Amino acid sequence: MSDDYAERLRANRREKDDFFADHPQSPIPPEHRDEFDGLDYFPPDPDYRVESTVTVHDDPEPVEMETTASNPVRYLRIVTFEFEIDGEEHALAGYRQEGDDGAVFVPFRDKTTGQQTYHQGRYMELEPESELADGDRVTVDFNLAYSPFCAYSETFSCPLPPEENWLEIVIPAGERAPDLD
């Protein structure tokens, strides 16, 4: 991993910490903001910035995702990202809500979930530069994995990663579990 990449990642993390500490829309409850001194992260690790192969779902299937507030939300499974970590093949589905053309939403759980990371899972958002096609190569960067807003406050309702996105490996990258005690 280049020093330039690691420094950009650290700068991104500092910017997020500033937002969480001071912004009116921060998910950190106001009564906790004074003692908030930044999120906890795993160190940047190039082994968890992987190239994936894309499979596009031409007729996207709807997927009902449970939420922390028990009101399911509907997403469309638009792509599958296949990648290798430690010599083993893995796959994660990518989703969008109907009518959304923005980032590809990739919620997931791994063997750190509930241990070192938020107990309901983490998210990534992939922003491909163009429309995805079968066989495209896309970087999946777990160093950018983050905890949803509901990890900081029960006032937020967050989709839970569906079982198809539960990885049976440890991904020590991205955000660690928030410490709000």
Element containing residue 33 per DSSP (H, E):
helix 30-33
Task: Please say whether the beta carbons of 152 and 29 come within 8 A.
Answer: yes
Share of the chain above pLDDT 90, in %: 81
**pLDDT of 180:** 58
Share of the chain above pLDDT 70, in %: 98
pTM: 0.93
Q: What token pair was written down for 118?
A: 């938020």
Q: What residues form DSSP beta bridges with 40? A: none
pLDDT at 52 over 60: yes
Sequence ranges of the domains in the chain = 45-165
As a whole number of angstroms, the distance between CA 96 and CA 106 comes to: 9
pLDDT at 1 over 60: no
Residue pointed to by tokens 């004074």? 34
Mean pLDDT over each residue of the chain, to the nearest integer: 93
Q: Is 36 helix (H, G, I), strand (E, B) or coil?
A: coil
Ramachandran area for residue 144 (φ above 0: left; ψ -120 to 50: alpha; else beta)? alpha
- The Cα-based distances of 164 to 146, 167, 168 in angstroms read 19, 8, 11
